Amino acid sequence: MPNRPSDPETTDDEPRDAGANADGPNDDSGPDPAANADAEEPEIPADVRRYARFTKMDGAAYDRVNGFLRDRTYVTAREWAIARLCADFRTETGVEMTKIGENLPELVPFMTDTYSPQAVNQARSSFDDKVTKSGATFLYGAMSGFYTAEELDDLMYEVTEVAKFLLEVEGADLAVSEELDVEDRISEVMRDVRRSSEQLRAEETGHDHDVCPHCGEKLE
């Protein structure tokens, strides 16, 4: 299991809680007691009150969560949180981006500001772009022949551990048997990818990559 970071970390391209919609008062006269008495707190939707995905992150600072993710993935804390929320608050008509943005601090402990629907959409789009690029990089590495089958297994184990940790932080309860089953299926898929890519390269180059070009012995 990956360890939580011991020190807060910030990045140049990721402010502490980007996309906020807060506007401060223009004067320093202080709050108006009469206005406060008449003002009503906005009602929090029932499904927002029930939402418990990130309860394990209570008390965590945004910078610390962001630092952990940036050390191990290409996504930021806000992109991770909002991608999860977009999946959980999807209806037949689409994602409830307004609800997500307006209730972001209630839904995610380390997010302190509300977001506009446009900011929610931008964060989700950024997450999608990074997953696509990361996936292409990983799949190319797996198909290129740069790694042996054993090295691919080791690589898959490492990245799977990080992914499982994030799922557990979100509140998923993964049984040991389920974890092992998922790891076995992923390993088998990666072995199929490697075998298929070897056959493809052999067809294109006329060289059988399962056989040593020098001695003719079958490669393990």
The per-residue pLDDT for range 37-64, each reduced to its tens digit, is: 445 566 899 999 999 999 999 999 999 9
Whole-model pTM: value is 0.69
User: d(Cα 149, Cα 168) in Å, to the nearest integer?
Assistant: 28
For the chain, the structural domain boundaries read 48-143, 145-220
Helices (H), the chain: 33-38, 46-50, 62-72, 77-88, 97-102, 104-107, 117-143, 149-169, 176-205
Q: Each residue of 8-42: pLDDT tens digit? A: 343 445 545 555 544 444 444 444 544 454 455 66
Could you tell me the end-to-end alpha-carbon distance of the chain, in angstroms, rounded to an integer? 30
